[in-house]
DNA sequence: ATTTTGAGCGTACAACTGTTCACTATTTTA
DNA sequence: TAAAATAGTGAACAGTTGTACGCTCAAAAT
Protein backbone atom coordinates (compact mmCIF):
# COMPACT_ATOMS: atom_id res chain seq x y z
CA UNK A 1 0.00 0.00 0.00
CA UNK A 2 2.40 2.63 -1.29
CA UNK A 3 -0.56 4.92 -1.89
CA UNK A 4 0.62 5.59 -5.40
CA UNK A 5 -2.47 7.64 -5.97
CA UNK A 6 -2.21 9.87 -2.91
CA UNK A 7 1.43 10.31 -3.73
CA UNK A 8 0.71 11.60 -7.20
CA UNK A 9 -1.96 13.90 -5.83
CA UNK A 10 0.45 15.41 -3.35
CA UNK A 11 2.90 15.96 -6.16
CA UNK A 12 0.55 17.95 -8.35
CA UNK A 13 -0.61 19.84 -5.30
CA UNK A 14 2.98 20.94 -4.80
CA UNK A 15 3.10 21.88 -8.46
CA UNK A 16 0.18 24.22 -7.93
CA UNK A 17 1.83 25.77 -4.89
CA UNK A 18 5.12 26.22 -6.68
CA UNK A 19 3.37 27.62 -9.73
CA UNK A 20 1.60 30.25 -7.65
CA UNK A 21 4.77 31.08 -5.76
CA UNK A 22 6.67 31.36 -9.01
CA UNK A 23 4.26 33.93 -10.38
CA UNK A 24 4.65 36.22 -7.38
CA UNK A 25 7.25 38.60 -8.70
CA UNK A 26 7.92 42.25 -8.14
CA UNK A 27 4.96 43.39 -10.19
CA UNK A 28 2.49 40.62 -9.49
CA UNK A 29 0.47 40.30 -6.32
CA UNK A 30 -1.33 37.16 -5.26
CA UNK A 31 -4.73 38.72 -5.75
CA UNK A 32 -3.84 39.47 -9.34
CA UNK A 33 -3.21 35.81 -10.10
CA UNK A 34 -6.01 33.94 -11.75
CA UNK A 35 -6.98 30.36 -11.15
CA UNK A 36 -6.51 29.63 -14.83
CA UNK A 37 -3.02 31.07 -14.95
CA UNK A 38 -1.85 29.09 -11.96
CA UNK A 39 -3.36 25.89 -13.31
CA UNK A 40 -1.73 26.48 -16.67
CA UNK A 41 1.67 27.16 -15.10
CA UNK A 42 1.32 23.91 -13.18
CA UNK A 43 0.50 22.09 -16.40
CA UNK A 44 -3.08 21.39 -15.43
CA UNK A 45 -6.47 22.01 -16.95
CA UNK A 46 -8.27 24.84 -15.14
CA UNK A 47 -10.91 22.51 -13.85
CA UNK A 48 -8.38 20.19 -12.24
CA UNK A 49 -7.48 22.96 -9.85
CA UNK A 50 -10.63 22.19 -7.88
CA UNK A 51 -9.40 18.70 -7.05
CA UNK A 52 -6.86 20.36 -4.73
CA UNK A 53 -8.24 23.70 -3.60
CA UNK A 54 -11.80 24.94 -3.58
CA UNK A 55 -10.68 28.45 -4.19
CA UNK A 56 -7.74 30.69 -4.95
CA UNK A 57 -8.17 31.89 -1.40
CA UNK A 58 -7.56 28.42 -0.06
CA UNK A 59 -4.36 28.20 -2.09
CA UNK A 60 -3.38 31.58 -0.72
CA UNK A 61 -3.83 30.54 2.88
CA UNK A 62 -1.72 27.49 2.18
CA UNK A 63 1.00 29.78 0.87
CA UNK A 64 0.82 31.88 4.02
CA UNK A 65 1.29 28.75 6.11
CA UNK A 66 4.26 27.91 3.96
CA UNK A 67 5.64 31.37 4.68
CA UNK A 68 5.11 30.77 8.38
CA UNK A 69 7.29 27.69 8.19
CA UNK A 70 10.00 29.69 6.48
CA UNK A 71 9.78 32.28 9.23
CA UNK A 72 10.36 29.65 11.89
CA UNK A 73 13.31 28.25 10.00
CA UNK A 74 14.65 31.77 10.04
CA UNK A 75 14.25 32.06 13.78
CA UNK A 76 15.89 28.73 14.37
CA UNK A 77 18.87 29.63 12.25
CA UNK A 78 19.27 32.99 13.95
CA UNK A 79 19.19 31.31 17.35
CA UNK A 80 21.89 28.86 16.38
CA UNK A 81 24.11 31.64 15.14
CA UNK A 82 23.53 33.76 18.22
CA UNK A 83 24.60 30.91 20.47
CA UNK A 84 27.94 30.92 18.74
CA UNK A 85 28.48 34.45 20.00
CA UNK A 86 28.60 37.93 18.49
CA UNK A 87 26.26 40.91 18.35
CA UNK A 88 22.70 39.67 18.66
CA UNK A 89 21.28 42.54 16.68
CA UNK A 90 23.77 42.27 13.86
CA UNK A 91 23.32 38.55 13.52
CA UNK A 92 19.55 38.80 13.55
CA UNK A 93 19.40 41.47 10.89
CA UNK A 94 21.85 39.73 8.62
CA UNK A 95 20.09 36.42 8.98
CA UNK A 96 16.82 38.10 8.13
CA UNK A 97 18.29 39.74 5.06
CA UNK A 98 19.75 36.45 3.89
CA UNK A 99 16.38 34.82 4.17
CA UNK A 100 14.71 37.53 2.20
CA UNK A 101 17.29 37.11 -0.51
CA UNK A 102 16.79 33.38 -0.85
CA UNK A 103 13.03 33.37 -0.37
CA UNK A 104 12.05 36.51 -2.23
CA UNK A 105 8.66 35.44 -3.41
CA UNK A 106 7.43 33.99 -0.19
CA UNK A 107 8.43 37.15 1.65
CA UNK A 108 6.76 39.24 -0.97
CA UNK A 109 3.58 37.34 -0.24
CA UNK A 110 3.96 37.76 3.49
CA UNK A 111 4.75 41.45 3.35
CA UNK A 112 2.09 42.31 0.80
CA UNK A 113 -0.79 40.34 2.16
CA UNK A 114 -0.19 41.83 5.58
CA UNK A 115 -1.93 44.96 4.43
CA UNK A 116 -3.82 43.20 1.68
CA UNK A 117 -7.48 42.86 0.98
CA UNK A 118 -8.65 39.53 2.24
CA UNK A 119 -9.27 39.70 6.00
CA UNK A 120 -8.49 36.01 6.35
CA UNK A 121 -5.11 36.56 4.77
CA UNK A 122 -4.27 39.45 7.00
CA UNK A 123 -5.26 37.44 10.03
CA UNK A 124 -3.08 34.54 8.95
CA UNK A 125 -0.08 36.75 8.25
CA UNK A 126 -0.51 38.62 11.50
CA UNK A 127 -0.69 35.35 13.37
CA UNK A 128 2.73 34.39 12.00
CA UNK A 129 4.23 37.76 12.78
CA UNK A 130 2.77 37.77 16.27
CA UNK A 131 4.36 34.40 16.93
CA UNK A 132 7.63 35.83 15.73
CA UNK A 133 7.23 38.85 18.01
CA UNK A 134 6.45 36.75 21.04
CA UNK A 135 9.54 34.63 20.58
CA UNK A 136 11.62 37.76 20.41
CA UNK A 137 9.84 39.18 23.45
CA UNK A 138 10.69 36.12 25.53
CA UNK A 139 14.28 36.35 24.48
CA UNK A 140 14.59 40.04 25.31
CA UNK A 141 12.86 39.60 28.65
CA UNK A 142 15.37 37.02 29.76
CA UNK A 143 18.55 38.21 28.09
CA UNK A 144 18.15 41.87 29.04
CA UNK A 145 16.19 41.37 32.25
CA UNK A 146 13.38 43.67 31.30
CA UNK A 147 9.82 43.71 32.56
CA UNK A 148 7.57 41.81 30.25
CA UNK A 149 5.65 44.84 29.01
CA UNK A 150 8.78 46.81 28.22
CA UNK A 151 10.23 43.77 26.50
CA UNK A 152 7.07 43.53 24.45
CA UNK A 153 7.23 47.15 23.39
CA UNK A 154 10.80 46.65 22.28
CA UNK A 155 10.08 43.38 20.48
CA UNK A 156 7.08 44.78 18.70
CA UNK A 157 8.90 47.91 17.57
CA UNK A 158 11.86 45.87 16.39
CA UNK A 159 9.72 43.47 14.39
CA UNK A 160 7.81 46.34 12.81
CA UNK A 161 11.00 48.00 11.70
CA UNK A 162 12.65 44.84 10.47
CA UNK A 163 9.65 43.69 8.46
CA UNK A 164 9.11 47.11 7.03
CA UNK A 165 12.76 47.12 5.99
CA UNK A 166 12.25 43.69 4.49
CA UNK A 167 9.57 45.08 2.24
CA UNK A 168 11.97 47.77 1.10
CA UNK A 169 14.91 45.44 0.72
CA UNK A 170 13.22 43.14 -1.75
CA UNK A 171 13.54 45.68 -4.53
CA UNK A 172 17.07 46.87 -3.77
CA UNK A 173 20.40 45.77 -5.16
CA UNK A 174 23.11 44.26 -3.02
CA UNK A 175 24.87 47.46 -2.07
CA UNK A 176 21.67 49.26 -1.15
CA UNK A 177 20.61 46.30 0.92
CA UNK A 178 23.76 46.52 2.96
CA UNK A 179 23.21 50.18 3.64
CA UNK A 180 19.66 49.43 4.64
CA UNK A 181 20.83 46.62 6.92
CA UNK A 182 23.26 49.00 8.62
CA UNK A 183 20.54 51.55 9.17
CA UNK A 184 18.28 48.92 10.68
CA UNK A 185 21.04 47.75 12.99
CA UNK A 186 21.52 51.27 14.29
CA UNK A 187 17.80 51.75 14.76
CA UNK A 188 17.49 48.52 16.68
CA UNK A 189 20.32 49.66 18.91
CA UNK A 190 18.53 52.90 19.58
CA UNK A 191 15.42 50.98 20.53
CA UNK A 192 17.35 48.60 22.77
CA UNK A 193 19.00 51.48 24.59
CA UNK A 194 15.71 53.28 24.95
CA UNK A 195 14.12 50.21 26.45
CA UNK A 196 16.95 49.77 28.94
CA UNK A 197 16.67 53.40 29.87
CA UNK A 198 12.93 53.20 30.34
CA UNK A 199 13.35 50.15 32.54
CA UNK A 200 16.04 51.70 34.75
CA UNK A 201 13.88 54.73 35.50
CA UNK A 202 11.06 52.57 36.75
CA UNK A 203 10.31 52.13 40.45
CA UNK A 204 11.66 48.74 41.46
CA UNK A 205 9.07 46.12 42.24
CA UNK A 206 9.79 44.73 45.71
CA UNK A 207 8.29 41.87 47.63
CA UNK A 208 6.02 43.05 50.42
CA UNK B 1 -16.13 83.70 -20.22
CA UNK B 2 -17.12 81.63 -17.19
CA UNK B 3 -15.63 78.63 -18.96
CA UNK B 4 -18.84 76.74 -18.35
CA UNK B 5 -17.43 73.82 -20.23
CA UNK B 6 -14.13 73.48 -18.38
CA UNK B 7 -16.06 73.92 -15.17
CA UNK B 8 -18.32 70.99 -15.92
CA UNK B 9 -15.36 68.89 -16.97
CA UNK B 10 -13.59 69.53 -13.68
CA UNK B 11 -16.76 68.56 -11.87
CA UNK B 12 -17.09 65.15 -13.49
CA UNK B 13 -13.38 64.62 -13.03
CA UNK B 14 -13.94 65.06 -9.31
CA UNK B 15 -16.83 62.64 -9.54
CA UNK B 16 -14.48 60.02 -10.93
CA UNK B 17 -11.95 60.65 -8.18
CA UNK B 18 -14.60 60.48 -5.48
CA UNK B 19 -16.10 57.37 -7.02
CA UNK B 20 -12.74 55.58 -6.96
CA UNK B 21 -12.05 56.76 -3.43
CA UNK B 22 -15.47 55.64 -2.34
CA UNK B 23 -14.90 52.12 -3.59
CA UNK B 24 -11.70 51.73 -1.59
CA UNK B 25 -13.06 49.98 1.44
CA UNK B 26 -11.63 47.41 3.78
CA UNK B 27 -11.91 44.62 1.28
CA UNK B 28 -11.25 46.42 -1.96
CA UNK B 29 -7.84 47.49 -3.20
CA UNK B 30 -7.28 50.02 -5.93
CA UNK B 31 -5.88 47.44 -8.30
CA UNK B 32 -9.08 45.46 -7.98
CA UNK B 33 -11.19 48.36 -9.21
CA UNK B 34 -12.19 48.28 -12.83
CA UNK B 35 -12.51 51.23 -15.12
CA UNK B 36 -16.10 50.30 -15.81
CA UNK B 37 -17.04 50.12 -12.16
CA UNK B 38 -15.56 53.49 -11.39
CA UNK B 39 -17.23 55.07 -14.40
CA UNK B 40 -20.54 53.55 -13.42
CA UNK B 41 -20.24 54.74 -9.83
CA UNK B 42 -19.54 58.22 -11.16
CA UNK B 43 -22.63 58.02 -13.33
CA UNK B 44 -20.71 57.93 -16.58
CA UNK B 45 -20.52 55.66 -19.58
CA UNK B 46 -17.32 53.59 -19.52
CA UNK B 47 -16.04 55.33 -22.60
CA UNK B 48 -16.34 58.75 -21.05
CA UNK B 49 -13.65 57.81 -18.57
CA UNK B 50 -11.07 58.38 -21.26
CA UNK B 51 -11.99 62.05 -21.54
CA UNK B 52 -10.38 62.53 -18.12
CA UNK B 53 -7.74 59.84 -17.61
CA UNK B 54 -5.94 57.73 -20.16
CA UNK B 55 -5.72 54.86 -17.74
CA UNK B 56 -6.73 53.58 -14.34
CA UNK B 57 -3.09 54.08 -13.43
CA UNK B 58 -3.36 57.77 -14.15
CA UNK B 59 -6.37 58.00 -11.89
CA UNK B 60 -4.44 56.11 -9.25
CA UNK B 61 -1.51 58.49 -9.31
CA UNK B 62 -3.93 61.36 -8.99
CA UNK B 63 -5.33 59.71 -5.87
CA UNK B 64 -1.85 59.35 -4.42
CA UNK B 65 -1.26 63.05 -4.97
CA UNK B 66 -4.53 63.69 -3.20
CA UNK B 67 -3.28 61.58 -0.30
CA UNK B 68 -0.09 63.59 -0.25
CA UNK B 69 -2.08 66.75 0.23
CA UNK B 70 -3.95 65.16 3.12
CA UNK B 71 -0.65 64.19 4.68
CA UNK B 72 0.58 67.78 4.57
CA UNK B 73 -2.64 69.02 6.09
CA UNK B 74 -1.98 66.53 8.85
CA UNK B 75 1.51 67.85 9.43
CA UNK B 76 0.29 71.43 9.49
CA UNK B 77 -2.38 70.68 12.03
CA UNK B 78 0.03 68.76 14.25
CA UNK B 79 2.45 71.68 14.14
CA UNK B 80 -0.22 74.15 15.17
CA UNK B 81 -1.24 71.98 18.09
CA UNK B 82 2.32 71.43 19.21
CA UNK B 83 2.92 75.18 19.35
CA UNK B 84 0.13 75.43 21.87
CA UNK B 85 2.16 73.23 24.21
CA UNK B 86 1.95 69.70 25.55
CA UNK B 87 3.68 66.42 24.83
CA UNK B 88 4.93 66.46 21.26
CA UNK B 89 4.70 62.71 20.88
CA UNK B 90 1.20 62.45 22.31
CA UNK B 91 -0.13 65.25 20.16
CA UNK B 92 1.45 63.85 17.02
CA UNK B 93 0.08 60.37 17.51
CA UNK B 94 -3.39 61.56 18.35
CA UNK B 95 -3.46 63.92 15.41
CA UNK B 96 -2.40 61.10 13.16
CA UNK B 97 -5.08 58.81 14.51
CA UNK B 98 -7.72 61.48 14.05
CA UNK B 99 -6.73 61.88 10.43
CA UNK B 100 -6.89 58.21 9.79
CA UNK B 101 -10.35 58.14 11.25
CA UNK B 102 -11.68 60.93 9.07
CA UNK B 103 -9.83 59.95 5.91
CA UNK B 104 -10.03 56.19 6.06
CA UNK B 105 -10.08 55.45 2.40
CA UNK B 106 -7.31 57.75 1.37
CA UNK B 107 -5.07 56.29 4.05
CA UNK B 108 -5.99 52.83 2.97
CA UNK B 109 -4.76 53.74 -0.48
CA UNK B 110 -1.54 55.20 0.85
CA UNK B 111 -0.76 52.32 3.17
CA UNK B 112 -1.65 49.62 0.69
CA UNK B 113 -0.01 50.96 -2.41
CA UNK B 114 3.20 51.46 -0.48
CA UNK B 115 3.88 47.78 -0.83
CA UNK B 116 1.65 47.39 -3.85
CA UNK B 117 2.37 46.20 -7.32
CA UNK B 118 2.79 49.20 -9.57
CA UNK B 119 6.33 50.58 -9.22
CA UNK B 120 5.10 54.05 -10.13
CA UNK B 121 2.63 53.92 -7.28
CA UNK B 122 5.17 52.80 -4.77
CA UNK B 123 7.52 55.54 -5.87
CA UNK B 124 4.80 58.16 -5.51
CA UNK B 125 3.79 56.95 -2.06
CA UNK B 126 7.36 56.70 -0.89
CA UNK B 127 7.98 60.24 -2.09
CA UNK B 128 5.19 61.48 0.16
CA UNK B 129 6.38 59.48 3.14
CA UNK B 130 9.97 60.60 2.64
CA UNK B 131 8.82 64.20 2.65
CA UNK B 132 7.00 63.50 5.88
CA UNK B 133 10.09 61.89 7.40
CA UNK B 134 12.34 64.78 6.43
CA UNK B 135 10.07 67.31 8.06
CA UNK B 136 10.14 65.29 11.24
CA UNK B 137 13.91 64.91 10.99
CA UNK B 138 14.39 68.67 10.81
CA UNK B 139 12.17 69.16 13.79
CA UNK B 140 13.96 66.56 15.90
CA UNK B 141 17.36 67.87 14.94
CA UNK B 142 16.51 71.33 16.19
CA UNK B 143 14.23 70.59 19.12
CA UNK B 144 16.39 67.85 20.63
CA UNK B 145 19.77 69.11 19.42
CA UNK B 146 20.77 65.85 17.81
CA UNK B 147 23.26 65.25 15.03
CA UNK B 148 21.53 65.06 11.71
CA UNK B 149 22.19 61.36 11.18
CA UNK B 150 20.91 60.38 14.59
CA UNK B 151 17.89 62.59 14.08
CA UNK B 152 17.26 60.85 10.80
CA UNK B 153 17.44 57.42 12.36
CA UNK B 154 14.93 58.48 14.95
CA UNK B 155 12.61 60.15 12.46
CA UNK B 156 12.69 57.22 10.10
CA UNK B 157 12.00 54.70 12.85
CA UNK B 158 9.18 56.82 14.22
CA UNK B 159 7.51 57.21 10.84
CA UNK B 160 7.81 53.51 10.14
CA UNK B 161 6.15 52.65 13.41
CA UNK B 162 3.42 55.24 13.12
CA UNK B 163 2.48 54.33 9.57
CA UNK B 164 2.55 50.67 10.35
CA UNK B 165 0.24 51.36 13.26
CA UNK B 166 -1.95 53.36 10.94
CA UNK B 167 -2.42 50.32 8.77
CA UNK B 168 -3.46 48.33 11.80
CA UNK B 169 -5.69 51.04 13.21
CA UNK B 170 -7.92 51.25 10.18
CA UNK B 171 -9.61 47.99 11.01
CA UNK B 172 -9.95 48.49 14.76
CA UNK B 173 -12.79 49.84 16.83
CA UNK B 174 -12.49 52.94 18.95
CA UNK B 175 -11.31 51.28 22.13
CA UNK B 176 -8.70 49.17 20.40
CA UNK B 177 -7.46 52.22 18.59
CA UNK B 178 -6.84 53.99 21.85
CA UNK B 179 -4.85 51.08 23.18
CA UNK B 180 -2.86 51.01 19.99
CA UNK B 181 -2.24 54.75 20.24
CA UNK B 182 -0.95 54.33 23.77
CA UNK B 183 1.39 51.59 22.72
CA UNK B 184 2.73 53.73 19.89
CA UNK B 185 3.28 56.63 22.25
CA UNK B 186 5.34 54.45 24.55
CA UNK B 187 7.34 53.07 21.67
CA UNK B 188 8.09 56.53 20.35
CA UNK B 189 9.28 57.51 23.80
CA UNK B 190 11.61 54.54 23.88
CA UNK B 191 13.01 55.57 20.52
CA UNK B 192 13.44 59.17 21.62
CA UNK B 193 15.30 58.13 24.75
CA UNK B 194 17.47 55.74 22.82
CA UNK B 195 18.40 58.46 20.36
CA UNK B 196 19.31 60.85 23.16
CA UNK B 197 21.39 58.16 24.76
CA UNK B 198 23.19 57.33 21.56
CA UNK B 199 23.92 61.02 21.00
CA UNK B 200 25.27 61.58 24.51
CA UNK B 201 27.75 58.73 24.21
CA UNK B 202 29.22 60.14 21.05
CA UNK B 203 32.56 61.90 20.98
CA UNK B 204 31.82 65.59 20.83
CA UNK B 205 32.65 67.27 17.55
CA UNK B 206 34.92 70.21 18.24
CA UNK B 207 36.24 72.96 16.03
CA UNK B 208 39.92 72.52 15.19
C1' DA C 1 -12.62 -10.52 -10.87
C1' DT C 2 -15.77 -6.91 -10.34
C1' DT C 3 -17.15 -2.64 -8.65
C1' DT C 4 -16.23 1.88 -6.82
C1' DT C 5 -13.52 5.89 -6.49
C1' DG C 6 -11.45 10.04 -7.93
C1' DA C 7 -7.66 12.87 -10.51
C1' DG C 8 -7.54 15.00 -14.65
C1' DC C 9 -9.71 16.64 -19.13
C1' DG C 10 -12.55 19.18 -22.72
C1' DT C 11 -16.54 21.69 -23.72
C1' DA C 12 -19.50 25.20 -22.74
C1' DC C 13 -21.44 29.36 -20.75
C1' DA C 14 -22.43 33.65 -18.71
C1' DA C 15 -20.19 37.53 -16.72
C1' DC C 16 -16.96 40.83 -16.97
C1' DT C 17 -12.90 43.28 -18.72
C1' DG C 18 -10.46 47.40 -21.64
C1' DT C 19 -10.89 49.71 -25.90
C1' DT C 20 -12.49 51.09 -30.80
C1' DC C 21 -15.54 53.74 -33.37
C1' DA C 22 -19.04 56.62 -35.17
C1' DC C 23 -22.45 59.59 -33.39
C1' DT C 24 -24.99 63.59 -30.83
C1' DA C 25 -25.45 67.92 -28.62
C1' DT C 26 -23.59 71.86 -26.78
C1' DT C 27 -20.06 75.20 -25.96
C1' DT C 28 -16.31 77.82 -27.83
C1' DT C 29 -13.99 80.07 -31.40
C1' DA C 30 -13.52 82.59 -35.68
C1' DT D 1 -23.75 83.63 -37.65
C1' DA D 2 -21.06 79.73 -39.29
C1' DA D 3 -17.41 76.49 -38.17
C1' DA D 4 -14.67 73.93 -35.06
C1' DA D 5 -13.90 71.59 -30.80
C1' DT D 6 -15.18 68.37 -27.38
C1' DA D 7 -17.71 65.98 -23.18
C1' DG D 8 -20.55 62.27 -23.17
C1' DT D 9 -23.04 58.15 -25.51
C1' DG D 10 -24.17 53.32 -27.15
C1' DA D 11 -23.07 49.43 -29.82
C1' DA D 12 -19.73 46.17 -30.73
C1' DC D 13 -15.20 43.82 -30.37
C1' DA D 14 -12.01 40.26 -28.68
C1' DG D 15 -10.13 38.60 -24.52
C1' DT D 16 -10.29 36.72 -19.91
C1' DT D 17 -12.41 35.10 -15.94
C1' DG D 18 -14.67 31.38 -12.60
C1' DT D 19 -17.20 27.41 -12.70
C1' DA D 20 -20.78 23.47 -13.98
C1' DC D 21 -21.11 19.20 -16.33
C1' DG D 22 -20.10 14.77 -18.15
C1' DC D 23 -16.49 11.94 -19.54
C1' DT D 24 -12.18 8.77 -19.21
C1' DC D 25 -9.25 5.55 -17.19
C1' DA D 26 -6.15 3.90 -13.74
C1' DA D 27 -5.94 2.89 -8.80
C1' DA D 28 -8.29 1.15 -4.77
C1' DA D 29 -11.75 -1.50 -2.47
C1' DT D 30 -14.76 -5.33 -2.46
Global ipTM: 0.91
Residue B83 DSSP label: H
Each residue of A8-51: pLDDT tens digit? 999 999 999 999 999 998 778 999 999 999 999 999 999 999 99
Residue A1 has pLDDT above 70, yes or no: no
Q: Testing the interface with A: which of B193, B198, B202 to mutate, by most A Cβ within 10 A?
A: B193
Distance CA A90, CA A86 (A): 8
Q: Is the dihedral of CA A150, A153, A156, A161 positive or negative?
A: negative
- What is the model's pLDDT at position B205? 55
CATH topology of domain A1-54: Arc Repressor Mutant, subunit A (1.10.10)
Answer yes or no: is A76 CB < 7 A from strand C: no
Which residue in the set B28, B31, B191 is minimally distant from A190, CB to CB? Answer: B191
Q: Residue A206's pLDDT band (boundaries 50, 70, 90)?
A: low
Nearest residue (CA) to C1' of D20:
A47
Burial A153-189 (b: 16+ CB within 10 A, else e): bbbbbbbbbbbbbbbbbbeeeeeebeebbebbbbbbb
Domain parsing of chain A, residue ranges: 1-54, 60-200
CB-based contact A190 B187, cutoff 8 Å? no
CATH of domain A60-200: 1.10.357.10
Q: Tens digits of per-residue pLDDT, B30-47?
A: 999 999 999 999 999 999
Which of A157, A182, A198, A199 to probe by mutation at the B interface, max B CB count within 10 Å?
A: A157
CB crowding A68-100: b at 16 or more within 10 Å, else e: bebbeebbeebeebbeeeeebbbbbbbbbbebb
CA geometry: angle B27, B159, A165, nearest 5 deg: 75
Nearest to B197 among A26, A157, A194 (CB): A194
In this structure, which topology does domain B57-200 adopt according to CATH?
Tetracycline Repressor; domain 2 (1.10.357)
Percent of chain A with pLDDT over 70: 97
The SS3 assignment for B145 reads coil
Q: Which nucleotide is nearest to B13 (CA to C1')?
A: D7
Cα A71 from chain centroid? Answer: 5
Compute the average pLDDT of residues B94-119: 91
- Residue B208 confidence (pLDDT) above 50: no
Amino acid sequence: MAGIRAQQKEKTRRQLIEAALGQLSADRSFSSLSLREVAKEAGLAPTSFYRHFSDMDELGLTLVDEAGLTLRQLMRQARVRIEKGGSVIKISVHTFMEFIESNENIFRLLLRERSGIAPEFRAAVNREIRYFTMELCDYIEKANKLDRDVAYLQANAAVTIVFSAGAEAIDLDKKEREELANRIIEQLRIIARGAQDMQSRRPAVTAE
